[in-house]
Amino acid sequence: MDTGFRNAAHSQVQIEMDVKRLLQAAGVQPALNHFYMAFAKKLVAIARKHRGTTACDEIDMLVEVWRSRQLDLSLLNSIRGLYTSCPAIPAAQPFRMDISLLDGPDTLV
């Protein structure tokens, strides 16, 4: 067996074990494990390909993609912390609009 293939296979297995351990500790349903593992593998690929702010920007976009697929942000950030030193994305604050700003004389009738 080729050494490069063996190292890559070992790396993939290690990623799966790390993510599975984290998900079990968080009590995530096993049916969702595949999605978090796919995220982790893509994250590691980006971290290997890019460095510095480019890597962090790419990882931020990756987190947003998987967050839009309804995966838990705190778990995505935990997985991110296993493989990168990029800062975690903070949880979004709910939007609150001050309606009193719309009641001025400059509103359309």
Query: What digits encode the pLDDT tens for the residues 34-55?
Result: 999 999 999 999 999 999 999 9
Q: How far is CA 69 from the centre of its chain?
A: 11
pLDDT for residue 68: 92
| Most trustworthy range by pLDDT among 4-8, 10-14, 98-102 | 10-14
Average pLDDT score over residue span 61-77: 94
In this predicted model, what pLDDT tens digit does every residue of 72-85 receive, in sequence order?
Answer: 999 999 999 999 98
DSSP label at 32? G
Q: What is the mean pLDDT of the chain?
A: 85
Domains of the chain with CATH codes: 3-88 (1.20.58)
Task: Yes or no: say if 40 and 83 are a contact pair by the CB < 8 Å rule.
Answer: yes
The residue count of the chain comes to 109
